């Protein structure tokens, strides 16, 4: 779990502390790389105002 947190932070993504996000993280424990890719893609879309 700590490795996933470090990957998230060094990936430059914002972090949240709400219960919904904690649930998403918990559900993604077995395939964190895919979750990280999806969230990174979403962050890029938001930054580029592609919504």
The string of pLDDT tens digits covering residues 8-38 is 989 899 888 899 998 999 999 999 999 999 9
Total domain count for the chain? Answer: 1
What's residue 20's pLDDT?
Answer: 94
Instruction: Write b or e for each residue in 3-32: b if 16 or more Cβ atoms lie within 10 A of its Cβ, otherwise e.
Output: eeeeebeeeeeeeeeeeeeeeebeebeeeb
For 37, the domain range is 2-47
Say which residue the tokens 């998230």 belong to.
Answer: 8
Q: Could you tell me the pTM of the whole model?
A: 0.76
């Amino acid at each position: 779990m700590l490795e996933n947190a470090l990957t998230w932070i060094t990936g430059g993504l914002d972090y949240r502390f709400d219960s919904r996000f904690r649930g998403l993280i918990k559900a993604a424990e077995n395939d964190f790389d895919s979750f990280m890719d999806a969230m990174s893609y979403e962050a890029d879309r938001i930054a580029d105002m592609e919504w």
